[in-house]
């Protein structure tokens, strides 16, 4: 149990579908993240939320839409995806302390997404 739970673990969707990935953290952290992990590529940061406000959006296509309704929950809404969007999507949380020393990020088990 890592304290960060992602659902579903696996998802297969067509290019015209709309689906959502869910992440929940039970660690009392104030920052949450979405990462994309494609085969043989470094983890790519997609979005960062700190205190429920989006503070980073790394040029992610608009077909990915994040939502952070509170500090414990993070969603990634998906629509009209492409086959190249197939990847492992990882959620993470950390206790962001601004200018103070960073703490480690805790990761969920990821959602394995396949776009057909």
Partner 1 sequence: AQKVTQAQTEISVVEKEDVTLDCVYETRDTTYYLFWYKQPPSGELVFLIRRNSFDEQNEISGRYSWNFQKSTSSFNFTITASQVVDSAVYFCALSVPSGSARQLTFGSGTQLTVLP
- Where do contacts with partner 1 occur on this chain (CB under 8 A)? 2, 4, 31, 33, 40-43, 45, 48-51, 55-56, 88, 90, 92, 94, 96, 98-99, 101-110, 112
CA distance 37 to 28: 25
Token output for 80: 């009209």
Minimum gap (Å) between residue 42 Cβ and partner 1: 5
**Which of residues 55 and 116 has its CB atom nearest to partner 1 in the complex?**
55
- Nearest residue (CB) to partner 1, 15 versus 51: 51
Q: How far is the CB of 49 from partner 1 (least distance, A)?
A: 8
Categorise residue 28: left if φ over 0, alpha if ψ from -120 to 50, beta otherwise.
Answer: left
Q: What phi, psi does 83 have (nearest 5°)?
A: -55, -30
113: alpha, beta or left? (left if phi > 0; alpha if psi -120 to 50)? beta
Residue closer to partner 1 by CB (options 37, 80) is 37
């Amino acid at each position: 149990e890592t304290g960060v739970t992602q659902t579903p673990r696996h998802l297969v969707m067509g290019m015209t579908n709309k689906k959502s990935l869910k992440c929940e953290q039970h660690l009392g952290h104030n920052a949450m993240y979405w990462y994309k992990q494609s085969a043989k590529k470094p983890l790519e940061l997609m979005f960062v939320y700190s205190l429920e406000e989006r503070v980073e959006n790394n040029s992610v296509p608009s077909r990915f839409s994040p939502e952070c309704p509170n500090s414990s929950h993070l969603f990634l809404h998906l629509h009209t995806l492409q086959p190249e969007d197939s990847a492992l999507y990882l959620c993470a949380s950390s206790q962001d302390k601004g200018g103070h020393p960073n703490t480690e990020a805790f990761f969920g088990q990821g959602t394995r997404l396949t776009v057909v």
